[in-house]
Structure 1
Amino acid sequence: MTTIAEPQALEAPALGLHTDLSNEDYHADKTSLSSSGARKLLPPSCPAKFRYEQDNPQPASKTFDYGNAAHKTVLGNGPDLVVIDHDTWNTKAAKAEVAEARAMGAIPLKQNEMQMVVDMAAAIRRHPLAAALLDPAYGAPEQSGFWVDGPSGIRRRVRFDWLPSMHAGRLIVPDYKTAADASNDAFQKSIDHYGYNQQAAWYEEAAQALGLGDETTELLFVVQEKTAPYLVNVIGLDYFAREIGRAKNRVAIEKFAECTDTGYWPGYADKNPNYVPLPGWAENRDKEIYL
């Protein structure tokens, strides 16, 4: 059993759309549930892990630098990018410059890494559909929204990568992702692994709740590879993928409401053991031989 005291909450952002809320202030609101948080509440994760990560945010690391730097160059918003101009980062001087950059909230990059993200942004601008979806003349990056979920009464939040400022007909919301492989087959696996169908359903509901769109609103993923020639793929999800995501979001929302109300954030098996079968392929293999 994991019972964790609630952290002292800061003043929560007002309901509605925020065009100038910082990323830090957005993530500092622990009273509301985000799409990534909803996914962390469900298997293979659990509420205890969600609560721990909310209360113990991880410091910046090299693991996320490429994606965050690409977001900066492609979307035009995010931490400053600082080139650490040393052949190796193992020296005392280089380490000091890296630490100084991180202390300022910037992303330290090698010269070739900076060139990579600049080239990625250029590739986006050359792609007809991606360029149209992320046209700076008709939209703005990093827009935050907060609303109250009707069935549960909890606060929900969203941070759009990009929100169009003008649109005719239905609202199309692009979301930028970097990936090792942007092909349809590879991204199909990522949908399941990262819960991108939950994200799509969450963002579409957010747009409706905030009065930005209606039931025809659609989220499209702009997926870009991190190696030259930095290929781009624009991917939408089918009806059943989004409906499954919507159903999983509802379970997560109700779990968040319950845990918030009780102060109890369960782990994997706090009260009863979990009984787990063999993987299906192993069971099929072995039962033919041994049973």
Structure 2
Amino acid sequence: MTAVAAEATAPALGLHTDLSNEAYHADKTSLSSSGARKLLPPSCPAKFRWEQDNPQPDSKTFDYGNAAHKLVLGNGPDLEVVPGPRWDTSKAKGHIAEIRERGGIPLKQHELDMVKAMAAAIRQHPLAAALLDPAYGAPEQSGFWIDGPTGIRRRVRFDWLPSVQSGRLIIPDYKTTTDASNDAMQKDIDKYGYNQQADWYEEGARSLGLGDESAELLLIAQEKKAPYLVNVIGIEFGSRVIAGAKNRRAIETFAECTRTGHWPGYADDEPNYLALPGYAENRDKELYL
């Protein structure tokens, strides 16, 4: 498909309340928050482009997360149990393939029990339950808008949006993790760029007319082992300022690569000169210099 044809079939600008996850991710003309993070170090535009053109295969990690999203948020692929303790038999493999072909998620019984228990734990958490109350919001809504400085299309898929758009907009985003403690999540904010996601979603909400400068994303992090603890986390202001600068760099990179058709890797025309890691340089200076 040509760039012009892709642009013509891309979702319209604005908020979509019923766009499928597949249709959202099929739009290669726009840049998402996860895509923006893939454009920047330690990744690079070449990796971004390859992953866009070569969708990643299903994995158990994604299955758990998507299954939990289904039961916690109330929207997503069907969850189907594959009976029996072994999945390496020809019968089990055929069943799993059929489920995936239908767009479902295959699970063992104990895995389905786990995500059901996670959803129940969310409903018992006062703040998380209030933020995800189905009486006052809806899941999986997509937005598309034009970036003013570059003119590129940007996109966002909100886990959840409140149905009453008055007052301060709070945007819950659900994450499953092995450790939802403050220390672990602080590291994950850096590792996975959750501060960039917060800045992106907040800007997206403003651009779509859903909120003002007070709009805020809150992470609802939940552990995947009993007792399935929940931690509701906001991103500190300074971290979001840094995130805004990183997102702007990614947007400009995407615009330039799209314009030129060149998606560079680590070093295309000259070597990268590297120093020792800071800790190693300090250690060796003390020992040998």
Above 0.5 in TM-score? yes
Name 1:48's counterpart in structure 2. 46
Describe the SS at the equivalent of 1:224. Answer: strand
Name 2:6's counterpart in structure 1. 9
Aligned residue pairs, count: 287
Conserved? CA contact 1:6–1:263, under 8 Å: no
* Structure-1 separation of matches of 2:26 and 2:90: 33
**Equivalent residue in structure 2 for 1:103, among 95, 101, 104:** 101
Identity, in percent, stands at 75
Give the CA deviation at 1:167: 4.8
**Equivalent residue in structure 2 for 1:123, among 113, 121, 124:** 121
Conserved? CA contact 1:7–1:55, under 8 Å: no
Residue by residue, what CA displacement relative to the aligned partner does 1:177-219 show, whole Å, maximum 9, x if unpaired?
0000000100000000000000000000000000000000000
Residue by residue, what CA displacement relative to the aligned partner does 1:230-253 show, whole Å, maximum 9, x if unpaired?
000000011101111111000000
Q: Which residues in structure 2 correspond to 1:104-183 (within 5 Å)?
A: 104-183=102-181
Describe the SS at the equivalent of 2:225. Answer: coil
Name 2:236's counterpart in structure 1. 238
AA aligned to 1:258 is E
Aligned-CA RMSD value: 1.3
AA aligned to 1:217 is A
Name 2:276's counterpart in structure 1. 278
Give the CA deviation at 1:111: 0.2
* Structure-2 separation of matches of 1:43 and 1:184: 25
* Structure-2 separation of matches of 1:6 and 1:273: 33
Describe the SS at the equivalent of 2:159. Answer: strand
* Structure-2 separation of matches of 1:203 and 1:118: 28
Name 1:194's counterpart in structure 2. 192
* Structure-1 separation of matches of 2:197 and 2:173: 10
* Structure-2 separation of matches of 1:157 and 1:90: 39
Q: 1:117 to 1:131 in 2, by over 3 A?
A: same
Name 2:226's counterpart in structure 1. 228
Q: 1:33 to 1:190 in 2, by over 3 A?
A: same
Q: 1:7 to 1:168 in 2, by over 3 A?
A: closer
* Structure-2 separation of matches of 1:289 and 1:150: 53
Name 1:64's counterpart in structure 2. 62
Give the CA deviation at 1:258: 0.3
AA aligned to 1:133 is L
Residue by residue, what CA displacement relative to the aligned partner does 1:112-170 show, whole Å, maximum 9, x if unpaired?
00000000000000000000000001100000000000011110000000011015420
AA aligned to 1:131 is A
More RCO (CA 8 Å, sep 6+): 1
Name 2:251's counterpart in structure 1. 253
AA aligned to 2:225 is T
AA aligned to 2:21 is N
Name 2:26's counterpart in structure 1. 28
Describe the SS at the equivalent of 1:59. Answer: coil
Conserved? CA contact 1:170–1:217, under 8 Å: yes
Conserved? CA contact 2:165–2:211, under 8 Å: no
Describe the SS at the equivalent of 1:137. Answer: coil
* Structure-2 separation of matches of 1:225 and 1:289: 43
Give the CA deviation at 1:9: 2.1
Residue by residue, what CA displacement relative to the aligned partner does 1:56-97 show, whole Å, maximum 9, x if unpaired?
111222231101100000001111100001121122211111
AA aligned to 1:111 is Q
AA aligned to 2:134 is P
Aligned: 1:184 with 2:171: no
Q: Which runs of 5+ in 2 are unaligned?
A: none
Conserved? CA contact 2:178–2:223, under 8 Å: yes
Name 1:87's counterpart in structure 2. 85
Conserved? CA contact 2:165–2:210, under 8 Å: no
* Structure-1 separation of matches of 2:257 and 2:116: 43
